[in-house]
Amino acid sequence: MLRRYVSLATLKAFALAAAALTGLLSLLELVEQLASVGQGRYRLADAFVYVLLTAPGRFLQVTPMAMLLGALLALGALARNSELVAMLGLGISARRIVGSVLLPIVPIVVLLLALAEFVIPPAQRYAQDDRAAALDAASSASGDNSLWAQNNRQYLNIQRFRNDRTPVGIDIYRFAPDGRLISIVHADHATIRPDGEWLLADVSRKINTAADLTTEHLATLSWHAFVTPREMQVLTLPLTSIPPTALYRQVHSLEARNEGASHYEHQLWERICLPVTLAAMVMIASAFMFGAGRTQSTGRSLLFGAGFGIVFSLGQLIFSRLGVLLDLDAAVTALTPALLTIWLSLYLFRTASR
């Protein structure tokens, strides 16, 4: 009964914090989208639809901070109503209370995995396509989803995608083993066939030989792309919107081709370590509330939560970037901020019990 009461209070507080943070970030995104209103067919209603469709991704982004604030709010309410003191007086250990606060992590993680796999990717893709279709009528609309891909000594650059996912503004660079540029192929657009072949249209091909540089223009050119249709779906999404299973396949595909997969691998491990991250947020909130935070006001507790959450997010970002730059183990860099937080919370618990 006690476990259910504390867990339900934590879950309600988490939902409140997550809704507030998601709403705040969505408002900021709406302000950013207002700058595009009036271009082409992009209207205020389109901006609202875009913000609404991308809201699940922001919910996933704010979950650690929301978990921290939710635990602080729930434990703070118990402390202000003297329920926390009563529980401890009845012989209920702090460990058992913290365990009850940790329980909501299970349904939260299940919800997040479902959102990350089945909701966020199609919603993000539809939002991008709808926005691109509305902006396509604007003379300056060139899209903001340019991408690069590499395979051995070939590099592919796509400037943008039409709303029907047709790649537009294609450049293919080929290099020799000694690093010398062999050829550059530019195409206005391409039709992707079911077998993976690309039919490039309005092609300009430059071939660099030892003697000279030759240029030829072709109406069409067939190209055996090293990027599969499934990989194209992954590459056109922001890194944070790629589903976990697609991240796993992309990492193994790139590793099989001896290509760098650091960005995808670190993003995958951040998803895998999410339960540990949420547990760390609950632990540090509990350590604060069972220590000095028990007598603090709600405002001060939230200020502590916001401050620590910002520091933790910066730490995650720094470790992730360092991991990519220094080619560190992705699991270690993803786990380190959470493990350091758990260690700090255990230290605070030990200090408070003296």
End-to-end CA distance of the chain: 30
Round to whole Å and give the CA distance between 15 and 43: 31
Interval 88-104: pLDDT, tens: 888 888 899 999 999 99
pLDDT value at position 141?
Answer: 33
Q: What is the DSSP letter of 220?
A: E
| CA distance readout (Å), 50 to 30, 130, 233 | 8, 8, 19
pLDDT band at 82 (very low <50, low <70, confident <90, very high): confident
- pLDDT of residue 117 exceeding 60, the answer is yes
- pLDDT of residue 309 exceeding 70, the answer is yes
Interval 156-209: pLDDT, tens: 999 988 776 789 999 999 999 988 999 999 999 999 988 889 999 999 999 998
**In this prediction, what percent of the chain has a pLDDT beyond 70?**
94
